[in-house]
Chain A
Amino acid sequence: MKLAFQLAYRNLIGAGLRTWLNAGILSFSFIVILFFDGLIDGWNKQGIRDSIDWEYGQGQLLHADYDPYDPFTIDDGHGKIPESERAASVPVLVRQVSVYPEGRMLSVKLSGIEAEQKLLKLPTGQLQKSEAEIPAVIGKRMAKVAQLKVGDRVLMRWRDKNGVFDAQEVTIAGVFSSNVPTVDQGQFWIPIRKLWQMTGLHEEVSYLIQKEPKAVSISGWNYKSQNELLKPFRELIKVERIGNSILFTLLLGIALLTLFDTQVLSIFRRQKEIGTYIALGMTRWQVVGLFTAEGAMYSLFAILLGSLYGIPFLFYMTKAGFGIPEANLQMGITIAERIYPVYGFSLIFGTVLLVVISATVVSFLPARKIARLDPVLAIKGKVL
């Protein structure tokens, strides 16, 4: 084995440009796979962190009739705060309202939250500071759609607990920037006490956000752990990974095809050399091993070459991040304007292993032919 690698190293170094062209193509695939996988890992980590910080906290307790993905459950999906959870959670009451920015009507979700809460990153402190009758904070996506800015007043119409319409002006006390669209798009945040007052639903909430992870079982409420809440996002990442793996397979496939082609051509062109190896005392399987080792070494050279330009590039990307096009930000998925790729040990090790193993296998396949080769004909270059 050592000899095979020793000779393979000599052969590849001696082959000069041919070696580096192959290594270059393979290294490009290697770096692209690392980059995009790192990007998805970065997105995954950022997305989970943002979802916890902005929306899920340590878990949620949802009213049994409330489904955050079904707007028809908003009207009836609320109940009194369970006593046991009063201190341990941040309460949120959700209502469906209409706002009229510049005379246009927009149907939005109105969420009431404790202004003094510190659990979520929502800038509810601005609600406390505001002296407006009904202060509200909105996300920048909402601000953009409604063309609202801090200090603007907008008419809001809602129904109280008896279904009677009421309306009043709401003052924008703050506009926040969040990567989590579900706390931003089509949503206004006001102090929960104000919302209780506006609707007459005193001490009623749609869901509670837990400050500490604790599984609870309360009749009329559904407990969702942080993991369950993150499941849809994780599913999305999984789908993205599958999509990317198709791209990687194609990319790596092209690189491996190049390597396969080189090996086939190499065996064809180097018949005399193969014959000479055998005449000098190598067994046929030793020669197969040599050609396979050459293939494996291509991948090692690719990793070496890829490291030369890849490490600075990947390092730069971890600092500068990768800008996400505006259109993607509007898609309603948790994604930052810039994703900072994360390159973990398992990702790097896994990718290195993938490239080395696939290159070795691809080199072994044509090299097997050598095992059936007649050395007499090989020396003369008359085999294939």
Chain B
Amino acid sequence: MTWAVMAFGLCWYTIINQMDTKEIIRIEQLTKRFRDGEGEFTALHKIGLSFGRGEFAGLLGPSGSGKTTLLNIVGSLDKPTEGRVTVLGKDIARLTHKESAMLRNRHIGFIFQVYNLLPVYTVFENVEFALLLQNFSAGERRKKVMEALEWVGLAHMPNKRPDKLSGGEGQRVAIARAMVKRPEILIADEPTANLDARNAHAIVRMMKQLNKELETTFLFSTHDEKVMGYLERIIRLEDGKMVSDEWVNVKTKKT
């Protein structure tokens, strides 16, 4: 019996260890088309990519290049028209609404360009929201929320409302909200587009630090030069096609 338990444990350890080193996002031949009046518009065309644990990668490209569409599909907010996208071993196209919601709730954090904070909630409540969906006790929630607010330097203003926050503070709350549940993947769609240079640098530095500390995979869409300097991997998109995939600022590829 003891041997069986040990063998089972070893098996799991091996699987989890392998998962750690393996890719957590795999994109194969991804095509996304939208209806455009009578015809169709191809937003993404045969994209193939994979991302490993703890990557700090950015999708670069002009407006309409397909960055946000790609992030939405990886974030399970949208489905591919063709091809296959696997996130944490789950085929996005095959997930039900409930499974998609579960995936987002437990494993994926989102940061939006305009922060998308819930306007009637305080800073604390905004960050707490994701934990409410996971049925944490009130005590656990408080501990985790305050910890997340510590990370982003806002532990002193848990009761402020979003309309009383500056742009930088708002985006830091959004980061805390995304990170409080310790997701494996964090998707940030133009997170610095509404910020001034000082705040943009501060925000990206903060995300970089969280990426190092928590080993979360950060996936950006941006065309902000300030962000690019921090990225380890830059994927360029144009008209829905991938034109380059380079590793920068790191000596070796992570996966």
Stretch at the interface among A124-132, A165-173, A271-279: A271-279
Number of A-B contacts (CB under 8 A): 63
Interface residues on B, range: 20 to 34
Contacts of A284 in B (CB 8 A): 97
Query: Given contacts A279-B75, A286-B101, A376-B77, is CB(A15)–CB(B120) below 8 Å?
Result: yes
A286 to B102: give the CA distance in the assembly, Å. Answer: 12
Residues of B within 8 A of A10 (CB): 120-121, 125
Contacts of A312 in B (CB 8 A): none
Q: List 8 A-B contacts (CB under 8 A).
A: A10-B121, A272-B114, A273-B119, A276-B110, A278-B101, A279-B77, A280-B130, A280-B177
Taking the complex as formed, is B241 at the interface, i.e. its CB lies under 8 A from any CB of chain A? no
**Which residues on the A side are within 8 Å of B112 (C-beta)?**
276, 279, 379
| Distance, CA A13 to CA B119, complexed state (A) | 12
Q: Which of A258-299 contact B (CB under 8 A)?
A: 272-273, 275-276, 278-286
Instruction: Please give the distance in Å from A372's CB to the nearest CB on chain B.
Output: 11
- Main SS class of interface, A: helix
Q: Which residues of B from 93 to 124 have beta carbons under 8 Å from A?
A: 97-98, 101-102, 104-106, 110, 112, 114, 116, 118-121
Rounded to whole angstroms, the CA-CA distance of A376 and B66 in the bound complex is 13
- Once the chains bind, are B72 and A14 in contact (CB under 8 Å)? no
Which residues of A approach B to under 8 Å, CB–CB? 3, 6-7, 10-11, 13-15, 272-273, 275-276, 278-286, 375-376, 379
Q: Which residues of B contact A (CB under 8 A)?
A: 72, 75, 77-78, 97-98, 101-102, 104-106, 110, 112, 114, 116, 118-121, 125, 129-130, 132-133, 177
- Closest B residue to A281 by beta carbon equals B105
A367 to nearest B CB, angstroms? 16
Determine the distance from Cα of A279 to Cα of B104 in the docked complex, in whole angstroms: 7
Contacts of A14 in B (CB 8 A): 119-121
Task: State the CA gap A7–B129 with chains docked (Å).
Answer: 9
- Measured between beta carbons, the chain B residues less than 8 angstroms from A286 are 101
Q: Cβ of B105: which chain A residues have Cβ within 8 Å of it?
A: 280-282
Residues of A within 8 A of B133 (CB): 3, 280-282
Chain B positions within 8 Å of A280 at CB level: 104-105, 110, 129-130, 133, 177
Kindly list chain A residues whose C-beta atoms are within 8 Å of the C-beta of B98.
283
CB distance from B161 to the nearest CB of A (A): 8
